[in-house]
Structure 1
């Protein structure tokens, strides 16, 4: 529903098929189905001091599996999707789609435990089970509440298996950008050497010790924005030299051409080590008068998954008062 319009009373069959288009569609599907069926909102109050499940459910959860019509969905339909529970709301985020915000009510005394998600006055009724770092939600999009954790024979029901995320959202208070990564961010001031002379640079880094991944975000505020052509290439080349300095001058280099709303370059550096190949993947963005470098370093398999997710969570500060939303790439 990118246009913000809701179709008039879609059929159950139509809305059920929408689930196959991914969780972004599922978010729209939840709202469309509830409006079509016309459910009454469930009213309740969230405790001011959460405890038990109300406390344990708080945080960021990643979708690990999705089932609809008794069948598992492809991970392409939920990759990089998160459910973020706070004390009074649930926010569903999927890629670059606008987040969908719900209020929710838990009843851990019921058997099975119940959850109700309300958006724009319409409620999806479901059941849940929460065990440590795994949360399972079985939700009916307008039909009766499920009584078991299965979607077989029910085209109005989806089941999400969620795992607690180690990734955390970070918003830079001064520069205004937002990004997600595991671990705590460290920042230091540095310089980037340009043909016209050095310019100030802030270097942010976070380490995922368990996966031996390093996330880097460099922000360079330029004196003036290069017009393009050779000036733009020289800027990207300078940032690329910085990556070589971090990773190793003997690294093999690959460049990937990608399109986006901003000037962008994607670079992959590889270095053979004793037991495995070390990889650094980076995207360089020129947005307004700032150069952003987002890089992930680790093993080939880990970086292949982590780098696109890191890039997908990045939101720069708005340029000239306009909301800036990158395209998928």
Structure 2
């Protein structure tokens, strides 16, 4: 039976796994090297917060760019009933102007989160001196923009593009310049 010398220096020749003489830690050195290489090849943890934030901000800005311009209603469904309601939305930068037929325009802001499924939007505006926040979901495909929001402030955000009892579904078409 072979015994190993307990005290060994790293610069002394030792037998490697294949019986060749070399410098290092023998079998343990091979395993150690393999573990170090494995650890270096596997990402550790999550990406830096700055990279995640930059990616999320870029996605929001890309969505914001797609929405810019004026959109007019093609169809509005409230509580399951179609309405003949001429409405337009104008997205300009981070602001939105809502024009409902026969009413003064409502100017406000909007926030997007395209990382959600479906993508979410919050529209904030002042109505008769009261701040109103409408949680919504949206979908923009080419020149068609769908917006589904709660019927009244304080109600939960819709989860599907349906005009339920407490939600409004509006389909807009991009207004050509």
Tell me which of the two structures has the higher relative contact order, counting C-alpha pairs closer than 8 angstroms and 6 or more residues apart: 2
User: Counterpart in 2 of 1:106?
Assistant: 112
- Answering whether residue 62 of structure 2 is matched by residue 56 of structure 1, we say no
CA distance in 2, matches of 1:94, 1:117: 15
Contact 2:135–2:149 (Cα < 8 Å) also in 1: yes
Structure 1, unmatched stretches of 5+, are 1-46, 168-329
CA distance in 2, matches of 1:102, 1:132: 24
Contact 2:79–2:167 (Cα < 8 Å) also in 1: yes
Runs of 4+, deviation exceeding 4 Å:
47-50
- Answering whether residue 72 of structure 2 is matched by residue 82 of structure 1, we say no
User: Counterpart in 1 of 2:136?
Assistant: 126
Query: How many equivalent residue pairs?
Result: 115
User: Counterpart in 1 of 2:162?
Assistant: 150
* 1:89 CA drift (Å): 0.9
Structure 2, unmatched stretches of 5+, are 1-56
CA distance in 2, matches of 1:159, 1:102: 20
* 1:157 CA drift (Å): 1.4
Contact 1:107–1:114 (Cα < 8 Å) also in 2: yes
Contact 1:91–1:100 (Cα < 8 Å) also in 2: yes
Alignment of structure 1 residues 14-33 onto 2, 5 Å: none
Q: Secondary structure at the match of 2:61?
A: coil
Q: Secondary structure at the match of 1:148?
A: coil
| Residue-by-residue CA offset, 1:266-322 (whole Å, 9 max, x unaligned) | xxxxxxxxxxxxxxxxxxxxxxxxxxxxxxxxxxxxxxxxxxxxxxxxxxxxxxxxx
Contact 2:60–2:112 (Cα < 8 Å) also in 1: no
Greater gyration radius: 2
Q: 1:48 to 1:100 in 2, by over 3 A?
A: farther
Contact 1:50–1:87 (Cα < 8 Å) also in 2: no
